[in-house]
Structures are given as C-alpha cells and as structure tokens.
Structure 1
Amino acid sequence: MKLRHKSQRKSLHVALFAATLASTTIFPIITQQFNAAQAAPVPAKSADSFVDSIGVNTHFTYGGTPYERFDEMKSKLQEVGIRHIRDGGYNDPDFFNKLKDLGSVGIKSNIIFSGNSMGEVLDVVKSLSGAIEAVEGPNESDLEFFNFSYNGQRFPEGTRAYQQDLYRTIKNDSATKHLPVITPSMGWGEDADKLGLIDDWGDFCNMHNYPNIGQAPTIDLDQYFIPHTNNMCNRLAKWSTETGYHNDLSHDMGISEEAAGKYIPRLLLESFNRNIKRSYLYEFANESNDAGDQSNYGLIRYDGSAKPAYTAIKNMTSLLKEPGANFNPGNLDYSLSVGEDRVHSTLLQKSNGEFYLILWQEANSWDNEGKHDIKVDDLNVTVNLNTPISRAEVYKPKEKGSPILVQDAPSGGRLNNLTVGVPDHPLIIKLIANGASTSGGSNNSGGSSNNSGGGSDNSG
C-alpha cells in the first residue's frame, strides 16, 4: 500500500538501530552460507521454491501511472517471471477484472484490507475467486499518515481488533477459509512490540523491511526487522510484503539503478536463506517521471523500459523456474575456498538432479555518503566438488541470460573443482551430476566458452 513518505520514516531508523542492538537478542537465522574449511554434503532447496518466493507490489487503481497501461504491465509481469502481486482491497469491478485476467495466466494476488467492513471484505474476496491467493491485515496502521481507526480505536488496539475480525471472517466462511491470512504490517519495525503477539490471528507473519540508508540487505534483516517481527508472532513463518530500494538520488535513501540491480537480487536471496517464504518488492513500476522517492521504486521505469534489477530477476527466474515440480532435493558435497564473511551462497536443485549454486560477494555496491557506485572487483573463488559432476555452466543474470562459461568433464571423468570470479551480485553455477539428465544449454564438449576469470580441474 502506497506511503508518500516511506523513506522519510526509514531514515529515522538510524537513531533507533543502536538501541535495538543493545536491547534485542538476535534471532538465530538459517542460511546456506559455509566456511571455507567446511567440506560436507549440503542440503539443497527446490529451485522453483526460490522463484515462487518472489512477489511485487502493484497499484492497478492508480490513475496517471503506468498501471493504467494494463496490457503492457501484464506482459511485463509475465516476462519477468513474477507470479505474485500485492494490491489494495478496492471494491471496484474494473480492478477485479484486471486481477482475474492476471490470475488466468498464473499471477495471483495478495489483497490488503485496512479498514474495510467485514461484509465488504467478503464481497471483495469472493469477487476475486480464482485470482486471490491471500488476505492481508492492515497496512502500516502504526503510522499517523494512514489515519487508521476501527470501531473508534486506533493502533495498536484497533489493529488487533481488526485483525481478529478479519481472521474470523475469512476462516468462518466455507468459500474463503482456504485462503491464508497475513498479519498486519508495521511502518516502524519496533511497533510490532506494541502490537504484541497475534499468532492466533494469522497464518503468516508480516514485515516491511527496507534496507536503511542505501546499505546492503543483510544487517537490518538480522538485527532489526526479524527480531521485532518475532515479538508480534514468533510461531508463524514470515512474509515480507514490502521491501526494496528506490532510485531518487536527491533523497538520502536513494541508490542508483545499477546498485539496485545488484542489491535487489541479493535481498531476495538473503530473505530466502532466512526462510522468509515470500518477499514482495516495492514496487513494479515507477509511478511518474518526477523526482521523489515514491515515484522511483519500480523495477521498470515510467516508460516501461527495464531497470537492471528487472533484467536480473527475469534471467534468474527463467533459469531456475520449474513450476509444479514435486520432489525431495538432495545434497551437494562441496566446499568454497573463501569464508562466509566474504561470499554468501544459496544452493538449489531441480527435479532432474541439476544443482544451482548461487554465489555473491557480501560487499557494499553503493556509497551513500558520496552518492556513487562502488566498483567491486570479482573475487576468485574455487568450488571444490566431492559430488561427481560432469558439466558446469556459469551465469551472471544481471548481465545476460546465457552462460558466460561452460565446462565439461573429460569422457568418463568428473569435475573436481571450478574457479570462478564472484561479483557483488549473484553468480549462478549450474552443476550437472554424473548420470543426471540435462535441460538444454550450450554444449562445448571438453572445453570452455568465454572462460574469463575461471577454470577447472578435471580428472578421471
């Protein structure tokens, strides 16, 4: 849901951050990051589960914005491979028709309700049957900007009461009870403490985690947003229904499109590593050509052209998608030559046995003080492979959709290791185990292509 001064409140977050560190026990996270000395089988997750974790905010009722160009927005959503959108609970037949159209091509909607009567909630949800996949409670009702009130009560009492009634309404109707209900979001992470535990009134716990002052994604997640969200619901899996970066460089929170093209895919992967089941980026399209933080959050520009983050996500989803796959991912026995303080990772697998090892440098790509991009040299990393691998393909999805390096093992042999240059944005290594089926890709038998900054050791 739109907030005109979203970044202004986020900039105050700096003053609260130190207090949070001093008073909060850091939530232990589950990641797929490994020490250089570690050499053991590592469990993979389904490749499509990562693709399915990606969502994006839209505003299909906003006039004078690219969202009025519905056919173009629909085409762009399909092209980028995002299957989940988040929008407001508007009782508008034209809005319903648009979301149903998107639902017919597999793009489902999470709908926010922030004050609608319970009767209207049911009307909207039932009108969107087949297009809606989740119902969400009040959006940032802790912020005075939204002037939230329910039965004469404001935040936090009114928010708690509304969420309870929303949950009961959805779960007590046979036509809607199958839908997950998402808890309210907070404009300020620490306001979750004021709301208190509401695990009984939701199926997923909600947070809005905007990285502070243009910094890399990880610190605020672990030391601010997740701990405070746990004070609202500590038994529920998490959804992040707003997160991202804007590109207004006149604002203290703005970063370049180039830096966002590196940070946003990392943000999605870092969230996935922490078992955040879905992350909705804010937002799909720039809302105007004007300066201003709120107008410049889009993955695409006002004219519909793609920003680097859009291209990176499109290439990642194209490579990793496998809708409908139902299997138990296996383990890859490998180690890295550098530690997790320098390189972060995610390990995925498809049902045909292919592994996808994603690596990126944990580095700052943006200088917020000087307002310029930081040049980060690729870091040479050797992937030591104990699992028998017959073929490796290396991709840089921010730059292109085709592999930058292909390496086959010699006939009857295996790849023992592969050295790659890891940038400050995701590098994907597709690894085909001996005996696994393949799903295409270029074939350079016994050799490599575009082998810049990489190499391998092959043996029988």
Structure 2
Amino acid sequence: MAMGLLGLMNPMAQAAPERARSADSFVDSVGVAVHLRYTDTVYGNYYGLIKPKLQELGVRHIRDGGDDAQFFQKLNDLAGVGIRSLLVMDPRDGIDPARAVAIAKTVAPSIEAVEQPNEYDISGDSNWRTTLKNYDASLRAAFKSDPAVANLPMIGTAFVTFDATNTVGDLSPYVDFSNMHPLRYFPPDNDQNNAAPNNIAVETAFRAKPFGNKPMWASETGYDAGCPGVGTGITEAAQGKYVPRFYLQWFNTGLVRTYIYEFIDEKPDNCTEPEYHYGILHNDGSPKPAFTAVKNLLALLKEPGAKFTPGSLDYTLSGNTTNLRHTLLQKSDGSFYLILWQAAKSSYWPGEARSGQDIYVAPTQVTLNLATRITQATTYLPNTSTNSTGQFTNPTQINLNVPDYPLVVKLSPSSAPPPPASGGQPDLLISSTGYQAASLTPGSPVTFTAVVKNQGATATPAGTIIGVAFRDRSTANGALLTYSDTNTASLAPGASVTLTANFPWSATLGTHNVEAWVDDVNRIPESNETNNTLNQTLTVSNTPPPSGKPDLVVTSTGYQAASLTPGSPVTFTAVVKNQGTIATPAGTIIGVAFRDRSTANGALLTYSDTNTASLAPGASVTLTANFPWSAVAGTHNIEAWVDDVNRIPESNETNNTLNQTLTSKP
C-alpha cells in the first residue's frame, strides 16, 4: 500500500462533502514511548505510578525494548489492561535474532509489532549499513520461520540523519512498515514549506524510500519541555499545544501510529540534562499540560470495538482560515467530531533571540457553515477539560474562536445513522470485559463481567437468553471457565448491558488469554456472526499484589445546569478513582469539595459527603454535590478536591484535585 495524504485540504475550498474517519482509528494511532526496564529511574515505581498513569492517560500502545524478566512481566501485566507494546530488537542490547524470537514468545500477550534496531546510523559502527542489513535480514527470517511469531508486523529502523536515509540502500524485503523519528518540529503542523524537516508530509515520503514506500510509523517524536531556552527546550505550555496537534496532523498525513517520546521525566533534574525533560509527566507523576491535553482528547474520541463505515459531512469554513488545520472523525452513533486548530508558532524556536518564551496566539474567528442537518452541536477544549464549552441547537452556522490548540466540535445529525446491519437483525458484540477479585493468586475466586452492545438494526427478542461464555484460549481446547446465562431482557439497537458470570472461576497459576464470547451457542440470529468475542489477558502469580494504601484521584468533573446565566443552579459532579493498592474503608466518607480557585481564598461552592461505600482498587464512583451552586457572572476555575479533609490515609496525598473552567454570563 502506498502512502497518501489525508485530510490536508482547506475545508473552505471543498467542492463536495468530506468523508470522515472513525474516531477510534485516531485513538488507536496514539502511542507513547516508555522505559520500563530503567528501574533506577522513576520507571522503577511501576505499580504505584507508571501503570496507573498509563491507564489514566487512556493510551493503548507503548514502545520499549530490552531483555529482562521483570520487564517482560510488566509488559504482560499491561496487556491485561489493554495496553500492548511495540518492542525494539537491537543487537546492542545483546538480542540476536534467535533471542528476539524467544522474547516475542515470552511476551506474546503484549507484543503487537517488532521494531528493528533503534537509530543505528549513530551506533558508532563504521560499517553500520552492512551490519544493519545483515541483522534485519536475519531477524526477518527468524520470525517468518516460526509460526508462533510469523505474523507480527516488522517496523524498520528510524534514522537520525538524512544522509543515512539516502545511502542505506533497499531494506524493503525485511519490513512491513516504514519508520521515522520526526523530532523537534516548530510548529508540528507546518505543511507550507516544501523541504524536510519543516514539512511532515515531505519528510514522510523521504523517510519511506529505503522501505519501499510502505506505510509509515513514527516510533519517537516529542519535545524536551520544562527548561525553556536550554538546549532545544520549550515551555511546558508550548509542549501542551504541540503534542495533540502533531498527533492529529500526522494522523491526517497517513501515519499508522505515532509515539510521543516520552511518558515521564526519568529523573529529577535542575535543567542540566535535556534528556530528562521529554516527558508529558513530571518526574513526581504530576501532569504537564501535554498529558492533560492528550488524556482529554482520547477520552472524548474513544469508541473501542466500534465497527461501521463513516459517513460524510457537508460543510464549509469561512473567515480567517489561512493557518487553519482540521481532522474530521465520526463515531458509530453518527456524531461527527470536527477538530480545528491554528498551525501557529506557539513558542520561539531554540536558538532564536527570544528562545524559551511563549508566543501569544489570538484565537482566529471562523464560521462553520453546515449543509448537513445537525440537531445539536457541542464544543470542547480538551487542553483544559472534557466539559463542554458551548452548545447549539439545530445550527446551520456557528461562529467559532479557534485557538492554537485543538477545538473539538461534536455535531449530531438529525438522523444519526446506526451502525450498518444487513437483514434487519441484532448484532451483538463485547465492547469491554472486566473482573472482580480480591487478589490474583492461585485459588482466588475471580468473577468475570462483559459489557454486551447491540449494534444491529433490531432488538434482541425478549425471553431469549443473551449469554456469554468465558474461555481460556491459552489452553489447547479453550477451556470453559464460567458463563452468564441469566439475562433474557430484550436489548434495543444501540443499547448495552453488563453481564456477570453465574459463578467465579478459581484462579490457576500462569498467564491466561480469557475470551468473552457473546451468544456462543447461537440462540439469536445476527447480521454478523463473526464479531462476538473480545479477549483480555490475566496473570495469576504466587505473589499477591503489593500492600499499601488507597490513592484517590479525580479523573473527570462535570456539571448539570439548564443554563450558565447568573443565578442559575449548577450541580457539580466528580468521578473519583481509587488508583491505590487497597480499598477505602467501608463506612468512611469519600468526600469532594468544589471550590472556586479564581477567588482570593478559593471559596467553597458546594460539596459531596454522602458516599460511605468502600471503593476497590481500580474502581471509580461518580459523586454529586449535595446542593447546587448559584452561578455568578464571570469565569471560574472550579476545583474538585477529593478527601479534602483527609478522612482516608492515602499513599499519595498530592494528587487529589482536578480543575475545570466555567464561564457564567448574562
């Protein structure tokens, strides 16, 4: 498949409706580079920090490499929560092709692709071209000769220098995908210049040449942020704007997947080592703006398991569209997500006279003209929150102020098309799976759950069982572990139901590929009988999970209000998650205070103090304020603070707040 450019036209010049891409395909294009085996850095705090923060981010793909048993265990553990890995196989790590195959088998639940040696043109090997080609050929042959790993995609080496790309020769027989490391684009979405490295489309085409122009991955890209003006450093604010923009722009350009380098600042540093400042998290785990922006963007757009053919949106943009960029996405309920941003310089480049300083970019005024009939439009600014910033009913024209970071416009058509289903039948799929267990040690009872969605055109018949079988596909015959067969209620088109296994499975030692299979005995005729399964990986070991304390965080906030005019009642909500290692004590209040941090003393607006149920590790609960706040004119920085009065001892007492911005005006 040759690469092409997608979604780069100016929508103002559209001659026809634009076809969207699925929202979840964008989410699936997002990855992050980690260093799990660097245990002498913050990555050594895997259970207490790294794993919970990866889950909070919402990313499904990581990139790493190495040869270490504890490292492999962490990879397989992450696979159990839906995070899989691209692994670098590199002779500098002592990994020859035979060992690479053995590693891939060891981390079979985790590995989804293999990357050839990292940036080998700067390895110091004077004969690096020949060494690399021989290694790549042997690596490819070793994998293709073993049926257990033969189907793993192989990603080429990303080169640092342009000369390396020009002179390395033909590597296309050894790869399935091209690769590059497009570092330090200032800004990331400049497609006006016609020479790399200023134009991502041009560099993509250039870097693909040694790989036969096969589709492109970017296994590293990013910015060192936090020490502006030092080396190539930029401000954290600029990183927060550039990172979501390059994910979107490079998705538009046709990249299969892009990995930010990197997840977290590896070590504390007083701006002496730029390498320690590439993270989107600070070294203590607190978020930089880029982490918040990506987390919120993924939360708005994710729709795992959705299978449908996206439609087209008939629209134009008028006004100041000179530097406007966009991505058009759609979810299976028919809602479009038009994402707009300015391709503007948000900070001065390293080396410029004012290096390290942000540039104020005024929002540009753009009018969205809609020919497709829309019943509801909602705007979001994910760099700050997942809460809506505006709503419009039956709009045909919307005036927008587009900043130099993503503005998301959700557009719900008047008759949102259901996911395709032939023959007017139900179509059942598993949208997510889970389990409940006090521990994952041998003999422990494990109760499985599955969320079943009907994405067909008609409801399931009342009185007919919607059953789910839970099988261990890591065994020879896919051993049946347990099942659910008690639900006989009709499931409407588009609706979902959570089904719980009739009885628990008694855990056995090892790593299990647990399959949830809805309607496994074909009680219900469906339009598609091939999409009924979803797998999760679960590891049972003799070592119980680490002991410790709860750790409460606010993962999202929201509000309910008929309007935001002064005097209107506003009821706040907060989703609280326990990312610690033990449950909160039953009978103890999990409280949330809602304060206005835009006032001098952080005025208390309202609070929630009615929930006393125990909150298990990994579980979340939505808490609603006891009474509404009466809106006051102005812009308010609303802070939700869980356990503000310290009723519950926690492993981390510094991560209890989350802020949202809310504007009330007549």
Q: Same fold (TM over 0.5)?
A: yes
Residue correspondence of structure 1 range 140-289 to structure 2 within 5 A: 140-143=119-122, 146-148=123-125, 154-212=127-185, 214-219=186-191, 220-222=198-200, 225-247=203-225, 248-289=227-268
Match of 2:96 among 117, 129, 151: 117
Distance 1:402 1:94 in 2: 39
Tell me which amino acid in the other structure corresponds to 2:170.
L
Q: Name the counterpart of 2:402.
A: 422
Q: Name the counterpart of 1:377.
A: 362
Which structure has more strand as a fraction of its residues? Answer: 2
Tell me which amino acid in the other structure corresponds to 1:404.
T
Question: Is 1:216–1:365's contact at 8 Å kept on the other side of the alignment?
Answer: no
Give 1:105 deviation, angstroms.
Answer: 0.5
Question: Is 2:201–2:253's contact at 8 Å kept on the other side of the alignment?
Answer: no
2:285 pairs with 1:304: yes
Question: Is 2:228–2:357's contact at 8 Å kept on the other side of the alignment?
Answer: no
Tell me which amino acid in the other structure corresponds to 1:395.
Y
2:55 pairs with 1:78: yes
Q: Name the counterpart of 2:294.
A: 313
TM-score, normalised via structure 1 length: 0.85
Tell me which amino acid in the other structure corresponds to 1:426.
P
Distance 2:180 2:634 in 1: 42
Question: Is 1:32–1:347's contact at 8 Å kept on the other side of the alignment?
Answer: no
2:304 pairs with 1:323: yes
Which residues of structure 1 form unaligned runs of 5+?
Answer: 1-26, 410-414, 453-460
Tell me which amino acid in the other structure corresponds to 2:358.
D
Q: Name the counterpart of 1:53.
A: 29
Larger radius of gyration: 2
Tell me which amino acid in the other structure corresponds to 2:173.
D
Give 1:131 deviation, angstroms.
Answer: 0.7
Tell me which amino acid in the other structure corresponds to 1:136.
E
Q: Name the counterpart of 2:382.
A: 397
Tell me which amino acid in the other structure corresponds to 1:325.
A
Q: Secondary structure at the match of 2:257?
A: strand
Question: Is 2:172–2:211's contact at 8 Å kept on the other side of the alignment?
Answer: yes
Match of 1:65 among 4, 28, 41: 41
Give 1:169 deviation, angstroms.
Answer: 1.2
- Which digits, 9 at most, give the CA deviation of each residue in 1:37-65, with x for residues without a partner? 43520010000000000001100111332
Identify if the C-alpha distance between structure 1 residues 105 and 386 changes in structure 2 by more than 3 Å, giving closer, same or farther: same
Alignment identity in percent? Answer: 38
Question: Is 2:205–2:213's contact at 8 Å kept on the other side of the alignment?
Answer: no
Greater RCO (Cα-Cα under 8 Å, separation 6 or more):
1
Question: Is 1:207–1:239's contact at 8 Å kept on the other side of the alignment?
Answer: yes
Question: Is 2:375–2:412's contact at 8 Å kept on the other side of the alignment?
Answer: yes
Tell me which amino acid in the other structure corresponds to 1:304.
G
Identify if the C-alpha distance between structure 1 residues 136 and 206 changes in structure 2 by more than 3 Å, giving closer, same or farther: same
Distance 1:202 1:178 in 2: 12
Tell me which amino acid in the other structure corresponds to 2:60.
R
Tell me which amino acid in the other structure corresponds to 2:391.
V
Question: Is 1:205–1:233's contact at 8 Å kept on the other side of the alignment?
Answer: yes
Which residues of structure 2 form unaligned runs of 5+?
Answer: 192-197, 419-493, 496-557, 569-632, 636-666
Which structure has more helix as a fraction of its residues? Answer: 1
Distance 2:391 2:115 in 1: 45
Tell me which amino acid in the other structure corresponds to 2:299.
S
Q: Name the counterpart of 1:406.
A: 391
Q: Secondary structure at the match of 2:329?
A: strand
Q: Name the counterpart of 1:30.
A: 6
Q: Name the counterpart of 2:322.
A: 341
Residue correspondence of structure 1 range 76-115 to structure 2 within 5 A: 76-88=53-65, 90-115=66-91
Q: Tell me the C-alpha RMSD between the 2 structures.
A: 2.5
Of 300-309 and 61-70, deviating more is 61-70
Distance 2:315 2:13 in 1: 10
Give 1:435 deviation, angstroms.
Answer: 2.0
Identify if the C-alpha distance between structure 1 residues 171 and 323 changes in structure 2 by more than 3 Å, giving closer, same or farther: same
Give 1:407 deviation, angstroms.
Answer: 1.4
Give 1:250 deviation, angstroms.
Answer: 4.0
Give 1:443 deviation, angstroms.
Answer: 8.1
Identify if the C-alpha distance between structure 1 residues 42 and 444 changes in structure 2 by more than 3 Å, giving closer, same or farther: farther
The count of residues paired between Structure 1 and Structure 2 equals 413
Identify if the C-alpha distance between structure 1 residues 346 and 190 changes in structure 2 by more than 3 Å, giving closer, same or farther: farther
Distance 1:399 1:156 in 2: 46
Question: Is 2:319–2:365's contact at 8 Å kept on the other side of the alignment?
Answer: no
Question: Is 2:208–2:216's contact at 8 Å kept on the other side of the alignment?
Answer: no
2:364 pairs with 1:388: no
- Which digits, 9 at most, give the CA deviation of each residue in 1:221-258, with x for residues without a partner? 43652232132124311000000111132423111000
Q: Name the counterpart of 2:20.
A: 44
Distance 2:13 2:308 in 1: 30
Question: Is 2:189–2:343's contact at 8 Å kept on the other side of the alignment?
Answer: no
Of 200-209 and 436-445, deviating more is 436-445
Identify if the C-alpha distance between structure 1 residues 190 and 47 changes in structure 2 by more than 3 Å, giving closer, same or farther: farther
Match of 1:130 among 78, 99, 109: 109
Question: Is 2:236–2:290's contact at 8 Å kept on the other side of the alignment?
Answer: yes
Identify if the C-alpha distance between structure 1 residues 215 and 389 changes in structure 2 by more than 3 Å, giving closer, same or farther: closer
Distance 2:335 2:563 in 1: 19
Question: Is 2:13–2:316's contact at 8 Å kept on the other side of the alignment?
Answer: yes
Identify if the C-alpha distance between structure 1 residues 225 and 377 changes in structure 2 by more than 3 Å, giving closer, same or farther: same
Tell me which amino acid in the other structure corresponds to 2:142.
T
Question: Is 1:109–1:134's contact at 8 Å kept on the other side of the alignment?
Answer: yes
Q: Secondary structure at the match of 1:30?
A: coil
Tell me which amino acid in the other structure corresponds to 1:282.
Y
Tell me which amino acid in the other structure corresponds to 1:321.
K
Q: Secondary structure at the match of 2:72?
A: helix
Q: Secondary structure at the match of 2:128?
A: coil
Give 1:444 deviation, angstroms.
Answer: 7.6
Identify if the C-alpha distance between structure 1 residues 446 and 256 changes in structure 2 by more than 3 Å, giving closer, same or farther: closer
Tell me which amino acid in the other structure corresponds to 1:261.
G
Distance 1:76 1:210 in 2: 24
Tell me which amino acid in the other structure corresponds to 2:32.
V
Question: Is 2:97–2:135's contact at 8 Å kept on the other side of the alignment?
Answer: no
